[in-house]
Structure 1
Amino acid sequence: MRVLLSTYGARGSVEPMVGLAVRLREFGVEVRVCAPPDEEFVELFAGVGVEMVPTGAPVRPLVTTVVPGSAAGLAERAAALIGAQFGTVAAAAEGCDALLATGPLPVTAGARSVAEKLGIRYVHVGHQPVGLPSPHQPPPARRGRPLPPGVTDHRELWEEDARIADDMFGAEINSRRAEIGLPPVDGVRDYAFTGTPWLATDPVLSPWQGSGLAVVQTGAWFRPDERPLPAELTAFLDAGPAPVFVGFGSMPVEPAADVARAAVEAIRAGGLRAVVSRGYAGLDRIDDKDDCFAVGEVDHRALFARVAAVVHHGSAGTTTTAARAGVPQVVVPQGADQPYWAERVTALGIGVGVESRAAAHDGPVLTAESLTGALAVVSHPRVRARAAAVAATVRTDGTTVAARLLLDAIG
């Protein structure tokens, strides 16, 4: 039995696929993954012995150079992504029994078209619920295509979002479909989602509230990671009280030096030490004092188990990993689904969200003062106890559930 996984995006879109690929292989499935050709992803799959087919352009240069919210070059990038699905992904899917895809709409709509042409099972999976139509939430705005102002009915907004998706991607998708003998689709977004999309999030951290879609919630997908923490980091952790972790993952916060300074000053104001994660933003130490340590790529599960709090951007992966570790969180959302995760952390009582943007400002507005207040809140014993209680409920069998569902679907 052979399965192809197709993904495109930053680490939050790629790393969960590593976990599923490893679990499928344990079930005796032959797995290959189409993913961006960034060196970090190549190394990620090589480290677990899963075949990776480089697909599309590298993600990191794109993330770190595109102006947030800008639609400049979007049509060209979307066309290239769609072309990659009908080209590289289609070739990789030959002989497979199923194709599971995640990522932006050009990827998933293209992937389903490929599966349709080959006559194999297709599954759409999301790693956050914000993009799935629901009467309980509005759709996220698409780049360069704002939703109509003044409209508050969520159903009406989702209908408008479907029309916008067709305007943005429908012609390119249908042109590619015609080239391989497939009829046009009307409603690209819903075609990509299917009526039974999978949602790979934890049901306690991210309960699905919706109607119309038969969403299958598997639990979050974790990749196996047995790497020890670097010796220098372990020595730093052992040398004093538990530090506060600060990292923004794949978000290119600017100016990075100001963000790092604000964070470290706030942590020091509370008499605490800091571990700063470089990430895409390139955060680093602000001076040579020995109460701060800078890290690159490390096992977050192992590290979070030894910190007093996690200050982060609010991605699905970091939020879930911190929750699983039972550590209080301060979420400083930068965009996309991150405000949702900040709200969930606050609602669960396992941390707080910090407003990161001003109305007329496009960059982070994180200050030492705002973070100092947030850290004071999450240091309260009540928050720590709540974080520990929620940690006990976080499911760790998401990849097992997904693998079994997929095998059952293939039949």
Structure 2
Amino acid sequence: MRVLLSTYGSRGDVEPLVALAVQVRALGAEVRVCAPPDKEFAELLAGVGVELVPIGAPMGTMVRPASSAEAARRVAELAGQFEPVAAAAEGCDVLLATGLAHFGSRSAAEKLGIPYVYATFCSYLLPSPHRAPPPAPLLPGRPVPPEVTDNRVLWDLNAQLFNTLHGESLNAHRESVGLPPVGDVRSFIFTDHPWLAADPVLDPWQETADLDVVHTGAWIAPDERPLPDELLAFLDAGAPPVYVGFGSMRGVSEDIAAVAIEAIRAQGQRVLVGRGWAGLGLIDDKGDCFAVGEVNQQALFARVAAVVHHGGAGTTTTAARAGAPQVVVPQAGDQSYWAGRVADLGIGVAHDGPTPTTESLSSAVRAALTPEARERARSVAGTIRTDGATEAAKRLLDAAG
């Protein structure tokens, strides 16, 4: 049996597929992964001996669309990934897509006549009458009427937004490869049977008659890499530091490292800065601060006092598993949702907005370091599932028949 996993996104979209690929292979199937050609993604997959089929431009060169016209152009590019995905899927028995790979991947599976699964790492975009959809920033000229409060009506408007932003570009490509147009882009993307690859405690899903969601749990790959000697020396030299890092986010405010260091120092804490894609660094040579590149966060977060981060699904889950209190400073997308979940669970603080001041972040760090937040974080850590990738691998091979 042969399986193709396809994704287009940041490390948070690629790393879970590494975990799933390992489990699929452990069940005796062949597996390959379509992903952006960034060096770090290639290294991730090579580390577990899984073939990478590069698609699209490196994610390190991508910027967020700033208008509906730019979004349409991006969709045309993503739909154009059909050709390499379809080539990689030849002879495969099932195709699973995540991230922004859906535009090309679902069409490829349809063209080849093989089963298709779409998985998301956060439920906030999945239609549900139990909550309102997220805001739609790319159409500022078409705000939702303030008198509309019914969730079902709001989700209908959300579906219209998907059609407006993506329908023309998607259907133009489908016509070019001999496929019929789609009338409901959102349903095309998520299907009527999406998988939710998130922890049920961190991201619960309330059943709905409109969507049959399979909640697998998060796909977590055990990381056995040792921490660098220099980092270990810093950790051993004093009290556990507060970690601050923004992962694959590049558009963070220029002074956010300085703000974070000053805010954490104001609480009498040492600071550990994760450089990330934003290239964060130190502001002086004082011994209470240390900067690191890409490291084993599973091991690292078990040794810090708190984690200040952007709110990516992977970072949120890793910090929760480690029992580290969190301060989430959401920058984009689903990160505000994860910030809210951290606050609702009592395992940390949701910062109000993407650009903290020294005062606002200092207050948030102080709240995250309270005994109550620490105890709650430790309590929730014991509930986080670690079998999500195994569950998903079994289901995927069942879907392949």
For the aligned pair, the TM-score class normalised by the smaller chain equals over 0.9
Of 118-127 and 160-169, the range deviating more from structure 2: 160-169
Q: What's the counterpart of residue 239 of structure 2?
A: 241
* In the alignment, structure 1 residue 76 sits paired with structure 2 residue 73: yes
| Cα deviations by residue, 1:86-113 (Å, 9 ceiling, x for unpaired) | 2110110000000000123xx3143122
Q: What's the counterpart of residue 355 of structure 1?
A: 352
Q: What's the counterpart of residue 317 of structure 1?
A: 314
| Cα deviations by residue, 1:264-296 (Å, 9 ceiling, x for unpaired) | 111111111010001121111110001100011
Secondary structure of the equivalent of 1:52? strand
Any residues of structure 2 matched to 1:10-409 within 5 Å, and which? 10-63=10-63, 66=64, 69-71=66-68, 73-84=70-81, 86-104=82-100, 107-142=101-136, 144-146=138-140, 147-150=143-146, 151-211=148-208, 212-256=210-254, 258-356=255-353, 364-409=354-399
Of 164-173 and 33-42, the range deviating more from structure 2: 164-173
2 CA distance for matches of 1:368 and 1:71? 34
Point out where structure 1 has 5 or more consecutive residues left out of the alignment.
Answer: 357-363
- Paired residue total: 397
2 CA distance for matches of 1:80 and 1:142? 21
2 CA distance for matches of 1:142 and 1:255? 22
Secondary structure of the equivalent of 2:239? coil
Contact 2:11–2:248 (Cα < 8 Å) also in 1: yes
2 CA distance for matches of 1:220 and 1:291? 34
What TM-score do the two structures reach when normalised by structure 2? Answer: 0.95
| Cα deviations by residue, 1:202-258 (Å, 9 ceiling, x for unpaired) | 0011101252111000001112321111110011001111000001111224433x2
Q: Which amino acid aligns with 1:396?
A: T
Contact 1:109–1:188 (Cα < 8 Å) also in 2: no
Secondary structure of the equivalent of 1:321? helix
Change (3 A) 1:79 1:143: farther
Q: Cα offset for 1:143? A: 5.3
Secondary structure of the equivalent of 1:99? strand
Q: Which amino acid aligns with 1:23?
A: Q
2 CA distance for matches of 1:381 and 1:302? 22
1 CA distance for matches of 2:29 and 2:72? 36
| Cα deviations by residue, 1:9-48 (Å, 9 ceiling, x for unpaired) | 1111111111111111111111111101111111111111
2 CA distance for matches of 1:313 and 1:26? 33
Q: Which amino acid aligns with 1:16?
A: P
2 CA distance for matches of 1:402 and 1:260? 38
Q: What's the counterpart of residue 3 of structure 2?
A: 3
Q: Cα offset for 1:158? A: 1.5
Secondary structure of the equivalent of 1:311? strand
Q: Cα offset for 1:175? A: 3.0
1 CA distance for matches of 2:43 and 2:160? 39
Contact 2:167–2:185 (Cα < 8 Å) also in 1: yes
Secondary structure of the equivalent of 1:223? coil
2 CA distance for matches of 1:72 and 1:192? 20
Secondary structure of the equivalent of 1:235? helix
Change (3 A) 1:255 1:72: farther
Contact 2:243–2:304 (Cα < 8 Å) also in 1: yes
Change (3 A) 1:310 1:218: same
Point out where structure 2 has 5 or more consecutive residues left out of the alignment.
Answer: none
Q: Cα offset for 1:142? A: 4.4
Q: Cα offset for 1:200? A: 0.4
2 CA distance for matches of 1:140 and 1:380? 31
Q: Cα offset for 1:145? A: 2.2
2 CA distance for matches of 1:353 and 1:171? 37
Contact 1:135–1:210 (Cα < 8 Å) also in 2: no
2 CA distance for matches of 1:24 and 1:333? 33
- Percent of pairs with identical residues: 61
Q: Which amino acid aligns with 2:12?
A: G
Secondary structure of the equivalent of 2:3? strand
2 CA distance for matches of 1:287 and 1:149? 50
Contact 1:301–1:325 (Cα < 8 Å) also in 2: yes
Contact 2:75–2:170 (Cα < 8 Å) also in 1: no
Change (3 A) 1:112 1:253: closer
| Cα deviations by residue, 1:129-153 (Å, 9 ceiling, x for unpaired) | 1111111233234452244231322
Secondary structure of the equivalent of 1:189? helix
